[in-house]
């Protein structure tokens, strides 16, 4: 059985061992902005769940701790005049998914621009899929006469034990342009929220939105495990400076009845700590089965109306900061083309989710 490399040299890796005149920047370098890890200050780990809550989650749903080690939503930013960008990473597993690219699961991508408003996609870590450590040259030959903005997205479906960014030793390195405003978009949801199956990390809809809105976000998508646990809501409520909660977990909790059981308490838990922070409840994007299977369609409609009704109930009780969005409105009639496997959006599905949510989130943030 051959495992030979592709014939096409453009499909080969960009691993490198040319490290002369390269300085390695740690994620704790004070000139770099690490974001998306809400509890980093507590444990100094690249994880989404703090150590102190792991025993609680071990009791209620151990999968959360495993998935919490995935770095979805992590970002690293700075400004620099470097000509090259290297990424050196140690990850917790090699790629193991049939319907997601290795680079989306375990790699990084890089955006560069004159300002956060005009970031452009520039490259990925094209690492050896059989290894859990890599050094890749993501970008080279950049114009060193200009100081530019750099943004890196972390892997979506693996843990990162260590990561460093390599830049020219003589490059200017300075903090990035600040976010549009302080605070965090906090996404809670499923595999779709976690980014399955984007082609590379930056195309997950959460990363897309963070980039387009120039706001920090934290991704609490737990693949297959968006089950609306009260303890998860409690954790989300402890995050400092929330700007907006986006609650999108129907895909894991609809058919098993967990959404109907949990949504009210989930929202109340957030409201106990944050009475005026806006909350956006998003019902799930369409599945073909909703149209083909009468019972699936009926259930889907009732879950959408349940979510709409829950939001309306809170509003009728005086909560003016809670909103509902029908996820069906994010995709058009071609939606069957937007997933890789009947469930998980590709870049195509994510792009339209991001495009659809962007103005809605802007409007909510403008009001609050």
157 binds a copy of itself (CB under 8 A): yes
Nearer to a copy of itself, 26 or 298 (CB): 298
Burial of 143 (C-beta count, 10 Å sphere; 0-12/13-18/19+): exposed
Tokens, residue 166: 């390599």
In the range 124-153, which residues lie near a copy of itself by CB under 8 A? 124, 126-129, 132
Nearer to a copy of itself, 148 or 217 (CB): 148
| Beta-bridge partners for 153 | 75, 109
75 binds a copy of itself (CB under 8 A): no
Shortest Cβ distance from residue 125 to a copy of itself (Å)?
A: 8
Specify the stretch interacting with a copy of itself by CB under 8 A; choose among 80-88, 164-172, 198-206, 242-250: 198-206
99 binds a copy of itself (CB under 8 A): yes
280 binds a copy of itself (CB under 8 A): no
Please identify which residue in 213, 284, 344, 357 interacts with a copy of itself, judged by CB under 8 A: 344
122 binds a copy of itself (CB under 8 A): yes
Contacts of 62 (CB under 8 A, 6+ apart): none
Specify the stretch interacting with a copy of itself by CB under 8 A; choose among 21-29, 96-104, 170-178, 231-239: 96-104
Query: How far is residue 336's CA from residue 332's CA, in Å, rounded to a whole number?
Result: 9
Instruction: Tell me how far apart the 2 most distant CA atoms of the chain are, in Å.
Output: 65
Q: Which of 148, 95, 157, 94 is nearest to 122 (CA)?
A: 148
In the range 349-368, which residues lie near a copy of itself by CB under 8 A? 351
Distances (CA, A) of 305 to 32, 86, 166, 311, 315: 44, 49, 50, 10, 15
Nearer to a copy of itself, 60 or 240 (CB): 60
Residues 247-276 vs a copy of itself: string with x where CB under 8 A? ------------------------------
Identify the residue whose tokens are 């995050």. 239
DSSP helix/strand/coil, 18: coil
How many residues form the binding site for a copy of itself (CB under 8 A)? 62
Query: How far is residue 368's CA from residue 291's CA, in Å, rounded to a whole number?
Result: 37
Query: How far is residue 89's CA from residue 315's CA, in Å, rounded to a whole number?
Result: 46
Nearer to a copy of itself, 152 or 338 (CB): 338
Evaluate whether 219 touches 195 at the Cβ level (below 8 Å).
yes
| Beta-bridge partners for 217 | 185
337 binds a copy of itself (CB under 8 A): yes
Nearer to a copy of itself, 236 or 353 (CB): 353
Evaluate whether 45 touches 34 at the Cβ level (below 8 Å).
no
Query: How far is residue 135's CA from residue 122's CA, in Å, rounded to a whole number?
Result: 17
Please identify which residue in 100, 209, 243, 330 interacts with a copy of itself, judged by CB under 8 A: 100
- Are β-strands 279-282 and 242-248 bridged in parallel, bridged antiparallel, or unpaired? parallel
Please identify which residue in 73, 123, 228, 254 interacts with a copy of itself, judged by CB under 8 A: 123
Distances (CA, A) of 162 to 90, 132, 165, 266: 5, 11, 10, 34
Please identify which residue in 71, 199, 237, 253 interacts with a copy of itself, judged by CB under 8 A: 199
Residues 288-327 vs a copy of itself: string with x where CB under 8 A? x---------------------------------------
Please identify which residue in 28, 41, 59, 98 interacts with a copy of itself, judged by CB under 8 A: 98
Query: How far is residue 95's CA from residue 89's CA, in Å, rounded to a whole number?
Result: 14
Nearer to a copy of itself, 43 or 128 (CB): 128
The number of angstroms, rounded, from the C-alpha of 346 to the middle of its chain's C-alpha atoms is 14
Residues at the interface with a copy of itself (CB under 8 A): 1-11, 13, 63, 66-67, 92-103, 107, 120-124, 126-129, 132, 157, 191, 196-197, 199-200, 203, 223-225, 288, 336-344, 346-348, 351
């Amino acid at each position: 059985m051959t495992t030979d490399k592709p014939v096409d040299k453009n499909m080969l890796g960009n691993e490198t061992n040319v490290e002369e005149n390269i300085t390695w920047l740690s994620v704790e370098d004070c000139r770099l902005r690490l974001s998306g890890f809400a509890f980093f200050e507590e444990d100094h780990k690249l994880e989404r769940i703090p150590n102190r809550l792991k025993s609680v989650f071990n009791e209620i749903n151990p999968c959360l701790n495993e998935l919490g080690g995935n770095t979805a939503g992590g970002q690293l930013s700075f400004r620099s005049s470097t000509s090259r960008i290297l990424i050196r990473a140690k990850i917790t597993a090699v790629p193991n998914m049939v319907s997601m690219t290795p680079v989306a699961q375990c790699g990084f991508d890089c955006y560069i621009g004159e300002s956060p408003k005009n970031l452009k996609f520039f490259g990925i870590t094209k690492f050896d899929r059989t290894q859990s450590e890599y050094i890749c040259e993501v970008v080279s030959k950049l114009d060193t006469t200009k100081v530019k903005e750099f943004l890196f997205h972390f892997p979506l479906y693996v843990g990162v034990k260590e990561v460093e960014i390599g830049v020219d030793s003589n490059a200017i390195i300075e903090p990035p342009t600040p976010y549009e405003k302080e605070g965090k978009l906090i996404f809670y949801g499923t595999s779709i929220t976690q980014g399955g199956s984007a082609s590379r990390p930056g195309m997950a809809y959460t990363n897309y939105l963070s980039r387009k809105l120039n706001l920090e976000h934290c991704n609490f998508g737990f693949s297959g495990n968006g089950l609306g646990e009260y303890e998860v809501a409690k954790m989300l409520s402890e995050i400092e400076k929330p700007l907006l909660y986006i609650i999108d977990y129907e895909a894991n909790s609809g058919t098993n009845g967990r959404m109907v059981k949990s949504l009210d308490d989930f929202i109340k838990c957030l409201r106990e700590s944050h009475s005026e922070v806006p909350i956006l409840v998003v019902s799930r994007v369409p599945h073909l089965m909703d149209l083909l299977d009468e019972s699936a369609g009926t259930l889907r409609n009732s879950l959408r109306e349940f979510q709409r009704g829950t939001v309306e109930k809170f509003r009728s009780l005086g909560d003016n900061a809670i909103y509902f969005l029908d996820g069906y409105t994010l995709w058009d009639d071609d939606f069957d083309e937007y997933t890789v496997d009947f469930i998980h959006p590709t870049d195509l599905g994510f792009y339209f989710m991001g495009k659809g949510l962007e103005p809605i989130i802007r409007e909510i943030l403008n009001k609050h």
